[in-house]
Amino acid sequence: MMLSRKDTATITWSEWVPDGDVFWLTVRTGITGERAFRVLGSDKENLGLNHRSERGVRFAPNNVIVVGDLHTVPVISAEVDASILSGVFFNLGYIDDGLTDLCGPLAFARIVDYNCSGYEAGDRERATLERALSALLSAGTSAAREEITRAGYPTFRTPSPCGPAWGDPCVREVNARRA
């Protein structure tokens, strides 16, 4: 059964583990079993400071977090972009946050400008984006590009300069168990 990034998890083990010159605050939770997650890195000189930091304290044994807190640096993949207007485009794809095997992939679909600010598009553009997202989820990036092209928008392969984070409203867990 897939977990959701919004599921709660109790920290069962937490330890600073050395790896070369870096120490990693590594944790396990009851819901994720024996798998360990690196949640905070530190050099030796700042180890005490990082241990007492808000993030370090949050990952102490018996504390409750959400599974999404165990993520790694998000990497955008399978991105599709399409121009709507000059400087405004569709941007959709997948995000790998290191939790895909536990929680399923993250997909995103948004309409942004070149500064990655949201753009209030019309009904036609929003409907096209929804159809493209459905195509992406069911058949992949080629199908999403075809859906966008069919609606009359040119696609391109230049990735967006900034991507969304898993908590952004445009991001959806694809296969997660729904609470």
Arithmetic mean of pLDDT over the chain: 87
In tens, the pLDDT along 12-41 reads 999 999 999 899 999 999 999 999 999 988
- pLDDT band per the 50, 70, 90 thresholds, residue 160: low
- The label of the residue with tokens 């930091």 reads 53
DSSP 51: H
Nearest C-alpha neighbor of 135 from the set 171, 93, 72, 82:
93
Q: Compute the average pLDDT of residues 71-86.
A: 82
pLDDT value, residue 156: 81
- In which residue are the tokens 């296969």 written? 175
Looking at the chain, the whole-number percentage of residues with pLDDT higher than 70 is 93
Separation of alpha carbons 14 and 62, rounded Å? 10
| pLDDT at res. 46 | 86
Summarised one tens digit per residue, pLDDT across range 112-124 is: 887 778 888 899 9
Domain boundaries, the chain: 8-70, 75-173
Q: What is the DSSP letter of 164?
A: -
